[in-house]
Chains A and B, each alone.
Chain A
């Protein structure tokens, strides 16, 4: 019997190699038939690769040279082309499309001491009227690890930090780390992105091993939010006004549990944001648009869940977003306004091969969860708001395809069908000041986008 098993095992060892060669043959045939396609691709790729070639040789040199303090330099450049059937997204996209979304970043980090890390990133983002592309300091962090033992770590971070909420916020400008060209807008608003993105803060962080099952990572920060930009003002106050928003002490926290095999990730995050309006002039008949010195509180809570398998990843996030305006705005629309918004999305990603990935997502946003179709809001002021119910919700179905041409270069395309206009930027889709209505927005619209991204 042993002899038989031995014989069999010898045969069996030969079988896989035969099988492999059989498998390879049809593949070769396939390759020949797609040669033509591949050749045209090569031409395109070599054209694209010309510029990165220089960068990557420079990076190669940087990497191979031993740098003091473990200096690391990384960066990315992304360009998107967006076209919409109606409404504007990042520029005048409904009029023949636009190349209005350009993102570029460069960061450096050093470890002068084993437990000390310094890092900074400069970011340029050109996106519609909200972001001009002028480089700004995205983060600058001093990170000191106070305690470290096996999987347990505690430390402190000081500086301008990325706001830790949800799964994607901290790296939302890096195309490679996003599941799609446009992140689910219900949670990762691009119009108030500067407010949400980073803030000057002191943050405590900790990783704790949980019964050999996984790690619980927490971050808690006291912050001064970045509110001094037009898009944030327009979103929070309805218009860009003469005065400005004050920075007031706010809080942010997140906890993520991740199993040891990184398959399951569960997170909860919360923000307690305070800001107030500082009018430039007293209210008078001369400037009827001016507001009083009111304050507002924004206290969203986010729940996140993700499951990662070898081929597919399922992600879902839910947010409940209460806004509370106080009574000092001297404006009937804002005084004492209390609105609770709600957002969620379900998303599936599938890796056909390591190079090709597909994505499918349903994303929903309700500006007021007690008035999901916007009818109550219109009923408050039918003369001005009639027909604008769709500005109070947005439901977005997204389908996309991603091609990782090389580990450093990526191309992708996606299509959105959107019902509603709640997350459109007021700057790209301006409001007529006389009527208080947007000039031209449509409830049902389509968006198509392609993007190329390079990183090092």
Chain B
């Protein structure tokens, strides 16, 4: 192996390294973006309840049962009243997919089955985020979701475990 060959090999190696580094940087950047997007999606809204609700935290299972309308009472025995935005609302979609891990159409068919077989009730649908806020503030036992910007001391933010 002469010097010429060696220098070519080094060059190739250097080139590969630099490519690898840029790929790595790109991958890191993608991860970074992904994490950032994730944080942003989960960070901008919260599950909220009326102030009289005694719970401060819920398991994911309980949250799912509440929005599937099968869990009907809080731990102190009072009524749970569920409020949702329309199926195609951005916040409702984000909430269904991220917190409950279901698609809005699946929730809709669960609720339809309950209502039209007489074995349950559907959540109350509100038309706007303002109406959601009003209902959660003024209805005992209410649960819903709000953008961070709409949350103040008049509602309670629930932690989901």
Chain A residues in contact with chain B, CB under 8 A? 1, 4-5, 8-9, 12, 63, 66, 70, 72, 74, 76, 105, 107, 109, 111, 114-115, 117, 119-121, 139-141, 143, 145, 148, 150-151, 153, 157, 161-162, 164, 170-171, 173-174, 176-177, 205, 207, 209, 212, 215, 260-262, 308, 310, 351, 354, 407
Contacts and interface: CB of A to CB of B under 8 A. Distances in A.
Contacts of B88: 354, 407
B112 interface: yes
Given A145-B72, A162-B117, A70 B25 contact: no
Contact of B79 (A4, A70, A164): A70
A150 B110 CA distance: 18
Given A72-B121, A260-B64, A308-B103, A171 B59 contact: no
Interface in B101-141: 101-103, 105-106, 109-110, 112-113, 115-122, 124-125, 139
Interface string B22-38: 00010011001100000
A46 B122 CA distance: 28
A4 B25 contact: yes
A151 B71 contact: yes
B121 A8 contact: no
Interface of B: 25, 28-29, 32-33, 59, 61-62, 64-65, 70-73, 77-79, 81, 86-88, 101-103, 105-106, 109-110, 112-113, 115-122, 124-125, 139
A208 B141 CA distance: 24
Contacts of B103: 262, 308, 310
A121 B118 contact: yes
Nearest to A176: B112
Given A70-B121, A261-B101, A407 B106 contact: no
B29 A148 contact: no
Given A76-B116, A308-B106, 14 more contacts: A105-B116, A109-B118, A115-B73, A117-B120, A151-B70, A153-B71, A171-B116, A176-B112, A209-B61, A215-B70, A260-B61, A262-B102, A354-B88, A407-B88
B70 A207 contact: yes
Interface residues of B, dominant DSSP: mixed
Contacts of B101: 260-261
A310 B93 CA distance: 12
Given A4-B25, A171-B113, A162 B118 contact: yes
A148 B118 contact: no
B71 A107 contact: no
A177 B61 contact: no
A58 to B, nearest CB: 16
Contacts of A74: 115-116, 122
Nearest to B97: A310
Contacts of A310: 103
B112 A150 contact: no
A5 B73 contact: no
A66 B135 CA distance: 10
3 smallest A-B Cβ distances: which pairs? A170-B117, A119-B118, A171-B116
Contact of B71 (A117, A148, A261): A148
Given A170-B116, A170-B117, A150 B61 contact: yes
